[in-house]
């Protein structure tokens, strides 16, 4: 491929290790090598964090949904509170970024600012917050609401909450802590400020009760895919996560996000676009294909059918598994909560002319993300092309079965990326600096 070295030389391909319970594949927990109880033990998470750190991943990323999920996702529900886990992992790692998910709909800005600020302090500047508005009705029920606030309102609230959180992080000036033993002054009162945030949804007086986080603002990630979500990401996020499976569409999304960031008066280079990739890697392409077939053989079609039916808002149980997926359903629109996921999946079904069974397996293995099956070199070539041709600044690496596929990715793909000169040396253990983002 044609290499765009003049930009690549100053850019580093970033890698987030995304850990969903026992792996991103629906059937991860049923694989012969998996211990289905492991993800409720701290040892499991420590092992993964250390492997990812040793392999040079820039960050670990833990998602979160505040409800017990449906049958196909139940194994993900043994994922504990991300902030609790990441705090424990901060103690046993020194370099890897620690990005956790928290909701602007269900958490108060004071809690959010304090928790992520605390994580930033104990990890010496490695914290990140994946900002979600939450979208699942089950989450609403867990917090006493009859239903979720609508999409527009959730984003309006998210804007208000994030503005308040940033103000709280800034409530301590950089050198506010004097620790002046001689004169008995711990901090300079004049450098610690009330924030008096009074927004449409949240209020907080401040100041925060911990000093300014080492990074200023812990790194902010978001995954907006609706117009409101993209506008929010362009305004607030350092990293935007996205679901893309076609290079052309990924380039369009990338260009749009950079343009929106510029329109907000930001340096577009300071909004990093990171699509997800599901790597199925082995020493030969045939072995990689055998591996995905083995994983798919453990997926339960009825669970996947229920999940796809709920995504599409239609009961699919009467459809023949091996007939082509009905054309009229290919143009379905998901509910507000699942629209981007539905668009991504149906786009793949149209492009690859999938039967219902194949679509269910695509849901099990790829969830609409880029599914890359092949050798380390095959997968590195795909990542290089996306990186060099304006589709990605890095990737959310979603290994299907943990920790095995993380180890295989580290052994087979990362050295290939290094050979191609796109990983470069890391600049700092502080996450912002490592990602080339300004300390605020
Ligand atoms: C990689 C990735 C990770 C996500 N993680 C979570 C998560 O942990 N919890 C959650 O509630 N939503 C999560 N989402 C959903 C997004 O926050 C967002 O709601 C979705 O992309 C739809 O965008 P929209 O809200 O702009 O319509 C994730 C999305 C992506 C692409």
| Average pLDDT estimate for 306-317 | 86
Q: Which residues line ligand 1 (CB under 6 A)?
A: 63-65, 101, 132-135, 223-226, 229, 241-243, 276, 340, 396
Q: Which atom of ligand 1 is nearest to the CA of 228?
A: 26
Q: Which atom of ligand 1 is nearest to the CA of 224?
A: 26
Q: How far is the CA of 69 from the centre of ligand 1 (A)?
A: 15
128 membership: H or E segment, kind and range: strand 127-132
Nearest CA to ligand 1 atom 31: 242
| Average pLDDT estimate for 356-366 | 90
Q: For residue 426, which of 34, 1, 59 has the smallest C-alpha distance?
A: 59
Residue 241 is classified by DSSP as: E
Tell me the pTM: 0.95
Do 277 and 250 touch, CB atoms closer than 8 A?
no
If DSSP codes are grouped into helix, strand and coil, which group holds residue 183?
A: coil
Q: For residue 391, which of 227, 272, 231 has the smallest C-alpha distance?
A: 272
How far is CA 381 from its chain centroid?
A: 22
Q: Which atom of ligand 1 is nearest to the CA of 226?
A: 26
How far is CA 84 from its chain centroid?
A: 17
Q: How far is the CA of 351 from the centre of ligand 1 (A)?
A: 24
User: Does pLDDT of 68 surpass 80?
Assistant: yes
How does residue 204 score in pLDDT terms, banded at 50, 70 and 90? very high
User: Does pLDDT of 164 surpass 70?
Assistant: yes
CB half-sphere exposure, 6, CA atoms < 13 A: 0
| Average pLDDT estimate for 36-56 | 96
Longest CA–CA span in the chain (Å) reads 81
Give the separation between CA 394 and CA 58, rounded to whole angstroms. Answer: 10
What does the CA dihedral 172, 439, 221, 62 come to, rounded to 10 degrees? Answer: -80
- The CA angle 39-83-439, to the nearest 5 degrees, is 130
| Average pLDDT estimate for 100-120 | 98
- The CA angle 285-291-292, to the nearest 5 degrees, is 95
Among 20-24, 139-143, 169-173, the least confident range: 20-24
Give the separation between CA 202 and CA 438, rounded to whole angstroms. Answer: 28
Write down the pLDDT at residue 329.
82
Write down the pLDDT at residue 5.
41
- The CA angle 16-293-26, to the nearest 5 degrees, is 50
Select the highest-mean-pLDDT range: 73-87, 177-191, 360-374.
177-191
381-420: per-residue pLDDT in tens? 999 999 999 999 999 999 999 999 999 999 999 999 999 9
Q: How far is the CA of 197 from the centre of ligand 1 (A)?
A: 27
- The partner residues of 275 in beta bridges, in order of sequence, read 242
What does the CA dihedral 333, 334, 340, 343 come to, rounded to 10 degrees? Answer: -40
Q: For residue 7, which of 366, 300, 421, 335 has the smallest C-alpha distance?
A: 421
| Average pLDDT estimate for 111-124 | 98
Do 261 and 254 touch, CB atoms closer than 8 A?
no
Give the separation between CA 147 and CA 84, rounded to whole angstroms. Answer: 27
Q: Which atom of ligand 1 is nearest to the CA of 340?
A: 22
Q: How far is the CA of 130 from the centre of ligand 1 (A)?
A: 9
Do 125 and 119 touch, CB atoms closer than 8 A?
no
Write down the pLDDT at residue 247.
97
How does residue 17 score in pLDDT terms, banded at 50, 70 and 90? very high
How does residue 78 score in pLDDT terms, banded at 50, 70 and 90? low
Residue bearing tokens 């927004």 = 199
Residue of 132, 340, 370 to test ligand 1 pocket, by largest number of atoms within 8 Å of CB: 132
Q: Which atom of ligand 1 is nearest to the CA of 339?
A: 27
Quick one: 2 exposed, middle or buried, by C-beta within 10 A (0-12, 13-18, 19+)?
Answer: exposed
Q: Which atom of ligand 1 is nearest to the CA of 62?
A: 8
Please report, for the chain, the start and end positions of each structural domain, with discontinuous segments joined by +. Answer: 5-284+370-434
Q: How far is the CA of 369 from the centre of ligand 1 (A)?
A: 13
Residue bearing tokens 């969830």 = 367
Instruction: Copy the structure tokens of residue 139.
Output: 């989450």
For 5-284+370-434, give the CATH class: alpha beta
Q: How far is the CA of 222 from the centre of ligand 1 (A)?
A: 7
How does residue 75 score in pLDDT terms, banded at 50, 70 and 90? low
Phi, psi of 268 (to 5 degrees): -60, -25
Residue of 99, 135, 152 to test ligand 1 pocket, by largest number of atoms within 8 Å of CB: 135
User: Does pLDDT of 435 surpass 60?
Assistant: yes
User: In the chain, pLDDT over 90 holds for what percent of residues?
Assistant: 78
Among 94-108, 294-308, 315-329, the least confident range: 315-329
Write down the pLDDT at residue 57.
97
- The partner residues of 272 in beta bridges, in order of sequence, read 239
User: Does pLDDT of 227 surpass 90?
Assistant: yes
Phi, psi of 93 (to 5 degrees): -130, 165
How does residue 72 score in pLDDT terms, banded at 50, 70 and 90? low
Among 7-16, 43-52, 157-166, 395-404, the least confident range: 7-16
Please provide the average confidence, as pLDDT, over all residues in the chain. 92
Give the separation between CA 400 and CA 279, rounded to whole angstroms. Answer: 7
């Amino acid at each position: 491929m044609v290499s765009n070295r003049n930009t690549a030389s100053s850019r580093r391909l970033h890698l987030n290790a995304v850990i969903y319970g026992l792996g991103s594949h629906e059937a991860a927990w049923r694989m012969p090598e998996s211990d289905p109880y492991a993800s409720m033990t701290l040892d499991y998470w420590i092992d993964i964090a250390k492997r990812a750190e040793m392999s040079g991943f820039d960050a670990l990323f833990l998602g979160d949904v505040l409800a017990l999920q449906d049958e196909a996702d139940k194994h993900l529900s043994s994922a504990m509170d991300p902030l609790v886990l990441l705090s424990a992992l901060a103690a046993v790692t020194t370099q890897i970024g620690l990005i956790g998910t928290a909701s602007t709909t269900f958490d108060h800005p004071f809690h959010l600012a304090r928790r992520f600020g605390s994580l930033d302090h104990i990890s010496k500047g490695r914290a990140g917050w994946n900002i979600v508005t939450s979208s699942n009705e089950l989450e609403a029920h867990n917090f006493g609401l009859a239903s979720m606030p609508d999409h527009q309102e959730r984003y309006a609230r998210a804007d208000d909450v994030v503005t308040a959180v940033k103000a709280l992080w800034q409530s301590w000036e950089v050198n506010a802590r004097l620790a002046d033993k001689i004169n008995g002054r711990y901090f300079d009162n004049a450098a610690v400020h009330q924030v008096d945030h009074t927004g449409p949804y949240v209020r907080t007086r401040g100041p925060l009760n911990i000093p300014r986080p080492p990074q200023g603002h812990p790194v902010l990630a978001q995954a907006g895919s609706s117009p409101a979500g993209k506008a929010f990401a362009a305004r607030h996020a350092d990293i935007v996560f996205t679901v893309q499976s076609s290079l052309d569409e990924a380039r369009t999304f990338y260009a749009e996000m950079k343009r929106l960031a510029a329109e907000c008066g930001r340096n577009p280079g300071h909004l990093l676009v990171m699509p997800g990739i599901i790597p199925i890697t082995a020493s030969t392409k045939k072995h990689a294909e055998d591996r995905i077939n083995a994983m798919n053989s453990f997926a339960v079609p009825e669970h996947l059918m229920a999940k796809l039916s709920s995504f599409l808002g239609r009961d699919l149980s009467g459809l023949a598994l091996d007939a082509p997926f009905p054309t009229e359903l290919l143009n379905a629109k998901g509910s507000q909560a699942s629209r981007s996921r539905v668009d991504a999946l149906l786009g793949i079904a149209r492009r690859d002319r999938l039967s219902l069974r194949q679509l269910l397996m695509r849901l099990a293995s790829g969830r609409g993300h880029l599914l890359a099956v092949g050798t380390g070199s095959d997968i590195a070539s795909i990542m290089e092309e996306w990186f060099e041709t304006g589709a990605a600044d890095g990737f959310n690496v979603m290994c299907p079965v943990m920790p095995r596929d993380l180890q295989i990715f580290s052994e087979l793909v990362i050295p290939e990326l290094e050979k191609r000169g796109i990983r470069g040396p890391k600049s700092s253990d502080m996450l912002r600096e490592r990602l080339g983002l300004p300390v605020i």
